[in-house]
Every structure is written in structure tokens, then in C-alpha cells.
Amino acid sequence: MSIDPDKLEKIPRHVALIMDGNGRWAQERGLSRLEGHKEGAQSVRAVLRAAARAGVEFITVYAFSTENWKRPPQEIDGLMKLLIGSLNAYEQELHDNKIRLRVMGQFERLPLPVRLRLQKTIDATADYTNHTFIIALSYGSRTEIADAAKQIAKKVKAGELNPAKIDEQTITDHLYLPDVPDPELMIRTSGELRLSNFLLWQLSYSEFYITDTFWPDFREEQFYEALEAFNHRDRRYGGVKKK
């Protein structure tokens, strides 16, 4: 039975996704890992369409972690070329749906052609405000928090910040994208039950949705199923359920 997103009462403002299972999906079919990543790119496209239709304002996908630099050079090169190819092929959809592109992570570590192609789309979509697509690239949450601590320490040393005034908001204000609201829903595919160094600070009060579906098989209907599950969650933030 298909799910009508228009009938869901609660739509999360921000959904984060750990896109897992590309390699296993490919292995089951006797294909290369890169073929799995190519099919996974189609799932990103499908989720963006579904999110726009449902009214989700922010989508953040974990595309490439700081740990992923340890993968074979051939796979890394293939992923970077796939990213450029996907932007070339699907940028018009971002414009059609008025979706803004942003990137979080160690942008400077990415190959120059990737940085230039990303920046082109970032600049071209910068004025859109209804929906935002965030790609976590060369991203690690512990590094992000450490970088925030360094910035705060510099301000304390320079006399610009009183250490006694440091609170949770201070940390948030020094993260990579401080203006983006925390995700209300985090989706992880392929059944894995870990965060993998993804948005550790921002996911503190997020609802988790874990599915055994491999990422290349995760499309619009699977995304709506996650939204429906979110509708049944009682979010109390440590408080007591109201009668």
C-alpha cells in the first residue's frame, strides 16, 4: 500500500541519511562497487524529489567520510568522478525544485575539479530558500567538533570570549553549518546500527529509523515509509508525555 505524504501529520523539517549498502548491493549482483555507487546516486535523486513533495526543508546525506580516504585510490577516483557526473546530469532538477546545494566537511581536501564543480552549483542555487540539499563530503563529526573547539579556544585566547559564557549554543555556533537546524529524523539503510562519526552533536535528540534495505533500493516509497514511522514517534526531549 503506497503512502500519501500529504496525509502525514508531522513532517520533519530536517532529515539526515547514512546511505549504506552500495557495495553489498553490487556484490549480490556480481557488479563492481562503483556500479553500486552509481545506482545509489539514483536513490539520492529519488529522495530529493520525495522530500520536496513531502515538504522536508533540509536533507543531509553522508556521501564521503574522512575515513573513506582510506579506500583504494581507484574507488575514490571513481566516486569523485561520479559526483561530478551527477551534478552535470541532475543540477537542473535542483533548479526545477528550487533546492539549494550546500556542502559540509573538509572542502579543501577534495580534488580541485570536484571543488570547482561543487562551487558552481552552490553559487547557482544560493538564492533558493524552500529546500536545502546538504552533502557531507570528507566529513567527520569528531573533526567538526574539534575544529569548533579550536575556534572557541582562539576567541578565548584573544579575549573575545569569556570561558564562563561557553554553553551548548556556543558549540553549535562554531560547527560547519551553524544556521542549519538539527535533524529531527536520521535514516540509515542496510540495517547497520551505528552513527559512523556522523553529526554526533546534531543528532542528540533525533529519531532514528533503521531499514535493512540497501541504499540503491531506497527510493520514494521507502522514504515515505520512514516519514510515516516518524509520525508515530512521541518526541519528549527528556520530558514527560502529556496526557
Residues acting as catalytic residues: 20, 68
The x, y and z cell numbers of residue 27, run together, are 556484490
Distance CA 130, CA 95 (A): 11
Computed on alpha carbons and rounded to an integer, the radius of gyration of the chain in Å comes to: 19
Distance CA 190, CA 183 (A): 20
> Which uninterrupted H or E stretch holds 138?
strand 131-139
Sign of dihedral through CA atoms 81, 86, 88, 91? negative
> Which uninterrupted H or E stretch holds 25?
helix 22-28
The x, y and z cell numbers of residue 39, run together, are 545506482
Q: Which amino acid is at 226?
A: A
